[in-house]
Amino acid sequence: MNLKWITVNSRLKNGIALINNLTTIKFQLLLAHIINSKEDELKKLKDSLKFTEDNVQLLTQSIIYIYRQANKVILKPTVLQKHLIENLKFDSEKAEEFVKQWSNETKKDVGGDFENRMKLENITWELNLETANQICNKESVPKARLQFNLAKAVVSDQKDKVTVEMDQDELMHLYSTLETIQIKLDNINL
């Protein structure tokens, strides 16, 4: 079994076996407690699960490991669920519960409010040259003015404009940042 987003070893397999031995309700409670990091509640769960301390630790470490690894990559919930069932041998109910919790938490982390996000429609620019000011009459200071025309990602009739004025150093910093982003994008597409 070769998944690019997670390393499966015998300890993880044993943890998944413990997960599969739980009832769905107990697994839901356990997931909620682990995700919300309520350590004192986990000790109470040890008694209700009737597991040894080592098994509770293995169980929680397995869940945390799978959760963290799933957060490191971009996975659709359906793909994650398929991987959990087919490759990691989760019971289908447990996989479904895991994916529900993971999806809810991921939406919070990523920002599930996609309707309010803005997309860039157009950029206009102009270059202004300030040739004199109150302090010095012979100094020329170039300033670039960039106007970003934005629209809501979902309802494109709602528009907004953001205007930024930059001197040469600020413009070079922006250019350098954009160039770094482009290099990273190029490396992803290789």
Of 53, 45, 40, residue with least CA distance to 29: 45
Enumerate residues 6+ apart whose C-beta is below 8 A from 121.
149, 150, 151, 156, 159
pLDDT at position 15 is 92
10-21 vs 53-72: helix crossing angle, rounded to 10: 110
Of 110, 136, 161, the last residue of a domain is: 110
Predicted local distance difference test score (pLDDT) of residue 156: 66
Domain that holds residue 181: 115-188
pLDDT value, residue 90? 94
> At 71, which amino acid appears?
N
Structural domains of the chain, count = 2
Can you give the pLDDT at residue 184? 82
- Mean pLDDT for each 10-residue chunk of the chain (190 residues)? 79 92 88 72 72 85 88 85 93 93 77 66 87 68 88 76 90 90 78
Residue 24 lies in a domain: yes
What's the order of all strands across the beta sheet hosting 141-152?
Answer: 118-130, 141-152, 159-166
pLDDT recorded at residue 97 = 93
